[in-house]
Chain A
């Protein structure tokens, strides 16, 4: 078992056909990851590159700690299940299962024992003497699975293994593969075009389109927080309804008369600056509900079609802001009395908003900014007259001599509900809304003092009520400081003053740091960017963590930089600044 790492992986076929572009992914040991997307999105190509059946045009793939770009498939120690099973037709099931062991020169007794174990695990013991052509589709797929299991490889690859099975068998095999994953605890990489398979089986899902990974997240997060309209409409059945709307203050206008009021929770998440702009609104069919004539969002006079699915009823009707039918899913038996006007309500906490580039404009704030009074005191900085940031001048990334007002920056993740240190920074808030994620709870609160918005993230076990008054504590070591225009003065306690201001130069796809000091260049052939901070509109601060030595660089802004990227170094002669 091992983790699998893909760095900047691209695949270009003859005739400059791009199948996969700049694919980055770190698959953890024992994780069940799923590549999903429409046909031709590059998901199978990516899998085949991991398997070694396709060459990698550029980028690197690691299995464990080994770079496997130029390793033959047989030496990669992986196993793969093919869409069409690919059993060896002239061999019995026993020989099919034992083939890989034979290739690795195992002893006959060992092969026999292992084959019997796997056959027992997959319930195919009585089939061992048969040839593949004497098996049914489901049995063949089991043998193909067994061929993978027998070897205990570093990773299991599945290339649409269930798409040749009929619907009932598919559901059954789906749960069996999931159980198998729990049993063997292996790294599973699974390609499918079926979003139900993806949602039900994976720990994490990679949604792909046109060779690009659109979003990589847990099924719940993908469903609740899609980053763009493609992910939003691809996952979920029936698919999300998309409307054209205009944002005016806190109202979303579907046409001149119909509007939805943006809820407190959505307001907290919305990236500012979209007032007055055309937006795309997404509402899942299940987020509609029946309302009364007094309190409703939509009044519908005609229903085009009713589909009763037993546990839910689907209504097809016309709503403003959208040309096609809107699908509404109701969790109840509607009976036959669907005549007359129908009043509908939308769960406004669950709407999705996208800008004209189809990207989501709902984002959890990473940082909270709180206006405070600041005072320089020798080397130290005093916040609100009582909290001290010691050795501030060593940590400050720009030169300052005097300061009175400013903002402190608190990461949403560093709040605690109880005081841990005596000098923790205290914020009094009222909880306004809550967002549940697969790995954490996100709370949106209002600061009592100035009614500013505070976002904080807690572990899954913390359960707070909406409307509850709560005191939040942030350790001084997590705080950052900005001036009142928002320029960063101090990132946090960890980050030391930048040693070097550097210039970068782009050559092809690689960035080079130009530096005068030969010794520096020799010592650092490349630098790995651990984290990037926006200092201001012109400069970035890159935190470098190289050989356990931490430093930071102040670099001219470039939007192509990303966390985990490599910067190479180059000497320049007689550079004058």
Chain B
């Protein structure tokens, strides 16, 4: 009797191990598929010849740091440091303004009950479904009127103003904060502004960090709007600039691409500790 039980137990353990091995294999394959382009780009950036046609397979023929050095020293034709600075400025200010506007919008829509709230939400949802370049002509004309063409602040303005349309994720987060916490604060004597600053914002830290990260990352990858609005070489963002590199400058292109990942990664590691879940746990119920 006992033997049978022990035998069955062993069997189950083996099954569990086999299952885990299977799952890890699948994960490794998926990982490899995702990492392959990144790895290839990084390797290409260390290629010494630089041309796209000189990479015979996965690995370049010879390695050097030339591409990176040229990126920051050879600024006569392609002023990469300036592009990087432009993009950084746009990203930082977009991060600040967009986060403020999105969080404000989401809080208002989630917390206050007012007339036409539903209509506003529905129209925002429909509007956000149209791609931004649909309004390219209009944006261009508007920006000429404001004298914002060929000016990075024009981009900051457009990014910040259209950002609140994507408030839905943030609203979803605010909806999870129990109403009774707000009610308790009201009864405790707090004004709406005080509730927002001392209750909502501290509780919303994870979603604020998420919003800040996404709005910081967006200008690094956007191409269409900067290409439309920024004409002079010195005003380009990294995305526009890298696109203009010649065919023989592939190593440089790869190096530039690798480099823009750095600020985003740094910011991510700096902020990730605030993105912990379960901030509201312990507030209500037992």
| Residue B172 is within 8 A (CB to CB) of chain A in the complex | no
Please tell me if the beta carbons of B184 and A140 are within 8 angstroms of each other in the complex.
Answer: no
Interface set, chain A 124-159, CB cutoff 8 A to B:
131-137, 140, 147, 151
Contact of B282 among A72, A100, A134 (CB under 8 A): A134
Contact of B286 among A51, A80, A86, A140 (CB under 8 A): A140
Contacting residues, chain A, for B184 (C-beta < 8 A): 80, 82, 86-88, 147
| Residue B281 is within 8 A (CB to CB) of chain A in the complex | yes
Please tell me if the beta carbons of A73 and B187 are within 8 angstroms of each other in the complex.
Answer: yes
For the complex, give the distance between the alpha carbons of A83 and B181 in Å.
11
Residue of A nearest to B191 (CB): A74
Contact of A103 among B180, B194, B280, B281 (CB under 8 A): B194
Q: How distant is B111 from chain A, measured CB to nearest CB, in Å?
A: 14
Q: How many A-B residue contacts, CB cutoff 8 Å? A: 96
Contact of A89 among B189, B191, B280 (CB under 8 A): B280
For the complex, give the distance between the alpha carbons of A85 and B280 in Å.
13
Chain A contact residues: helix, strand, loop or mixed? loop
For the complex, give the distance between the alpha carbons of A134 and B282 in Å.
7
Contact of B199 among A73, A88, A151 (CB under 8 A): A88
Q: How distant is B279 from chain A, measured CB to nearest CB, in Å?
A: 6
Contacting residues, chain A, for B183 (C-beta < 8 A): 51, 53, 73, 80, 82, 86
Contact of B189 among A104, A132, A137 (CB under 8 A): A104
**Which range contains the number of B residues in contact with the other chain?**
20 to 34
Interface set, chain A 43-90, CB cutoff 8 A to B:
51-53, 72-76, 78-80, 82-90
Q: How distant is B32 from chain A, measured CB to nearest CB, in Å?
A: 40
Decide: A79 near B187, CB < 8 A? Known: A84-B178, A84-B180. yes
Please tell me if the beta carbons of A74 and B190 are within 8 angstroms of each other in the complex.
Answer: yes
| Residue B283 is within 8 A (CB to CB) of chain A in the complex | yes
| Residue A175 is within 8 A (CB to CB) of chain B in the complex | no
| Residue A164 is within 8 A (CB to CB) of chain B in the complex | yes
For the complex, give the distance between the alpha carbons of A365 and B96 in Å.
76
Interface set, chain B 131-148, CB cutoff 8 A to A:
none
Q: Encode contact with B along A150-180: 1 for CB under 8 Å, 0 otherwise.
A: 0100000000000011000000000000000
| Residue A259 is within 8 A (CB to CB) of chain B in the complex | no
Contacting residues, chain A, for B3 (C-beta < 8 A): none
Please tell me if the beta carbons of A89 and B279 are within 8 angstroms of each other in the complex.
Answer: yes
| Residue B92 is within 8 A (CB to CB) of chain A in the complex | no
Q: How distant is B131 from chain A, measured CB to nearest CB, in Å?
A: 38
For the complex, give the distance between the alpha carbons of A86 and B284 in Å.
5
Contacting residues, chain B, for A136 (C-beta < 8 A): 286
In the assembled complex, 30 residue pairs joining A and B whose CB atoms fall closer than 8 Å, in A order, are: A52-B186, A53-B183, A72-B186, A73-B187, A74-B186, A79-B187, A79-B188, A80-B183, A80-B184, A80-B187, A83-B180, A84-B178, A84-B180, A85-B283, A85-B286, A86-B180, A86-B183, A86-B283, A88-B181, A88-B283, A89-B181, A89-B203, A90-B202, A90-B203, A99-B198, A103-B194, A133-B283, A135-B282, A147-B184, A151-B188
Across chains A and B, which 9 residue pairs bring their CB atoms closest together, nearest first?
A: A133-B282, A137-B286, A84-B284, A100-B188, A89-B283, A86-B180, A103-B189, A86-B184, A132-B282
Q: 10 other contacts beyond A88-B184, A89-B203, A99-B190, with CB at 8 A cut-off?
A: A74-B191, A85-B285, A87-B284, A89-B181, A90-B279, A99-B185, A99-B198, A100-B188, A100-B189, A103-B188
